[in-house]
Structures are given as structure tokens and as C-alpha cells.
Amino acid sequence: MSTANQRRQWLAERPYIIAIIITLALVLWMASGLMQAQEIPNEKSSHSVILPKVKVETLHAAIISNTVALYGRTEPDRVTTLKAEVSGKIEQVLAKRGASVKKGQVIVKLALNDLASQLAQAEALLTQREIEHQGAIKLSADGYQGKVQVSSAAANLASVQAQIVRLNIDIANTVIRAPYDGVLNTRYVEQGDYVKSGDDIAMIADLDPLVVRAHVSENNIAQLKVGQNANIRLLNKENLLGKVRYIASVADDATNTFKIEVVIDNTGSTLLAGLSSEVNIVLAEVSAIKVSPALLALDEQGNIGVKTVLNNVVQFTAINIVKSEKDGIWLSGLGEQADIITLGQGFVRAGDEVEAIFAAEKTASAIPTSSAE
């Protein structure tokens, strides 16, 4: 038997020796891995973590007026179309187009035609009917006439009286007057024209006060009150003061907005109707911070906000836009003070640890020199 075969036979007769050898090999392998694992943290600790740098400004809030901007046109307070109430020829035109008129002022006179003669005849007949009625009453009292004759005489008298009233009204209606102070904006007739009852004669507009009618959303309507002041800016840059006169109680079905009326004093009718107007009404005073629109960001849910820093960790703070101006926007929801990232916000997310470099503090607003957003 060879030496190799003798060794294999010897090991086969002693299997515990093989188990010992395998166990020692496993122990040595595990020990080497543990030593390598202990060396890895030491290697990592030799390298420092580099945090992204962001520029941060500490901003303080200010009290501002939260306003709603509405748009409309100046309109007359009321407009009336004067119509002919009798037929006839235009005899006189006594007011020019565009002229200011007073209540009761004569605008147009129609020819009386035969109305005057009809009235004279009716008045003469009235005298006769009065005598007949008195006679019927006396004869009835003496027993010579019955109640039927008295009633007939009374009816004839009443008919003539009604005719006289009607003729007097027709004569009065030949003179067409202004129903209130205003401006004769349009005149539809000239001297010599023939008009029928119901034809348009003139249009009177009351320009004092002027009215701006606008529509307010359901979000803002609850904060408006009748009598509230309003600032009106006309297209020609003129600024005026007005007051809320009317607020609708029912929303418009088509737009779901509420109609309001703002009145403007227009003594002397110096302001024109039909001018485009911007109406600004103060809803409330709020605490807000002014920032550049470039600092606004969206979170994963689509909420609008800004990125702030708290203990060197980026935070996303949701905001409400109070109002917008040429040099920035006012935001509420940030409290009285906020550390806002003004440079580098486009490269960090909420929850990231950063190295915050603070700039000088500012009150109410900060407009960064640049933005990566």
C-alpha cells in the first residue's frame, strides 16, 4: 500500500480531524472579515461630508392692507327715456343735447291742437250738467221725479267732470319736463316733428353720483360692507374716493359672483360716464412678508410656498399670496420672521442639510440679486 493511500485510510478512520480543520478555516475567515469591517469606518472618518451652501436672509413681517381689485366703468346713477304721452306736432325745443337740466325744466312743447277748444266745450257742458243735477235733486225732493232721474243726472255730471280731468292731463302732457336734475344726453326730436303717444322724445342721465358696478368673488364678498370706502383709479390715472352703496344678496348664476355698486360724488357733473375704472377696496389688515416672485416654489403636492432654513435643514413653508406689486409679492403664513433661502434654493429639497450663509437682516421684504429656481 502506498503512502498516500495510507494517509487517506488514516483520515477516514478519524473523521473528527477533518471537522476540526474545517471549523478552524471558518473561524479564520470570519475573523479576517471583522477586521476589514473595523477598518472601513476609520477610512470614512478621515473624509469630511461637504454640505451644499445656500444664501439665507432673515425677513421680518409688516402690517399691510389686504385689498381686492375690481374692474368696471363709470355709469350714470339712473337713466330715463322721456316719451310722448299725447300725439301732436313738436312746437318748441327748449333744451340742447348735452345741456344740464334741472328737475321740472321744460325740454319740449307739443302743439295743443284742439285740446283747448275741447276743454272749453267740456267746461260749458259741466255748467249745464250741474244745473240739471241740482234740478233733479229738487224735483225728487218735491216728489215730481224718481231716483232714476236723479241717478241719470249724476252720471252725466260725473262723465263731464272726468272728461275735463282727462283734457287737463292731455294739455299738461304737451309740455315734457325733466324728471330730475341731470344731463340731456340724447334728444330724438326736432321742432316740427310729429310724434305719436309712446314715441321717444329725449334721454336724461343723472351723473351725480356716478356709479361703478363690479362683481366680487364668493371668497371676498363676506368681507365687504355697505358704506365701506373704495379707491377708484380711472384710465386717465385720476384717483377718486367712493363708497360701497349696494351688495347683491344672490350670486349671478353664470359667473357665481356678486354684484356691487360703488358711488362717486360728481357734483357739477364734471366726470364722464363710461370711463374704465379700477376699484380697490381694503378687506383687512394682515401681517405679511414681501419677497421676489422668483423665490416661490412648489412641493410634490403642488402647494405653493418658499424654502426656509431651520437648524441648517431645509423646510418647505406653504404660503398665501396677499397681494402683488411691481417689485415683489406679499406673503402671509410665514409668521413674524422667516429665514428664507434667496440663493441656491433650486438645488436643495425639504429635509436636506445645508450650510446656511446668512445675509444682513431686512424688514418686511427681500429681493435677491439672483435665483437658481
**Among candidate residues 252, 285, 318, the one where a domain is terminated:** 285
**Among candidate residues 174, 201, 228, the one where a domain is terminated:** 201
Distance CA 84, CA 79 (A): 17
Residues 25 and 57 in one domain: no
Element (H, E) at 150: helix 147-172
Residues 90 and 197 in one domain: yes
Instruction: Give residue 189's pLDDT.
Output: 93
Identify which of 278, 286, 321 has the alpha carbon closest to the alpha carbon of residue 69. Answer: 278
Residue 371 lies in a domain: no
Residue 37 lies in a domain: yes
Instruction: Give residue 146's pLDDT.
Output: 66
**Among candidate residues 201, 234, 249, the one where a domain is terminated:** 201
Instruction: Give residue 44's pLDDT.
Output: 46
Residue 175 lies in a domain: yes
Residues 191 and 101 in one domain: yes
Q: Cis ω on the peptide bond leading into residue 293 (within 30° of 0)?
A: no
Q: How many domains does the chain have?
A: 4
Distance CA 46, CA 48 (A): 7
Residues 97 and 186 in one domain: yes
DSSP code at position 52: P
Residues 196 and 281 in one domain: no
Residue 373 lies in a domain: no
Range of the domain at 25: 3-45
Residue 333 lies in a domain: yes
Residue 261 lies in a domain: yes
Instruction: Give residue 200's pLDDT.
Output: 95
Instruction: Give the contacts of 369 (CB within 8 A, at least 6 positions apart).
Output: 343
Residue 372 lies in a domain: no
Residue 168 lies in a domain: yes
Residues 228 and 186 in one domain: no
Residues 140 and 233 in one domain: no
pLDDT along the chain (373 residues), means of 10: 62 65 67 54 56 89 87 94 93 92 94 80 81 74 68 83 86 91 94 93 95 92 93 89 95 93 92 92 88 89 90 91 85 89 88 86 45 35
Provide the residue type at 79 as one letter: V
Whole-model pTM? 0.59
Instruction: Give residue 27's pLDDT.
Output: 62
Provide the pairing of β-strand 182-187 with 229-234: unpaired
Residues 235 and 306 in one domain: no
Any idea what the CATH number is for the domain that residue 273 is in?
2.40.30.170
DSSP-derived secondary structure for 194-242 = EE-TT-EEEEEEEEEEEEEEEEE-TTTGGG--TT-EEEEEETTS-EEEE
Residues 196 and 239 in one domain: no
Residues 280 and 315 in one domain: no
Residues 181 and 217 in one domain: no
Any idea what the CATH number is for the domain that residue 93 is in?
2.40.50.100
Any idea what the CATH number is for the domain that residue 309 is in?
2.40.420.20
Residues 94 and 114 in one domain: yes
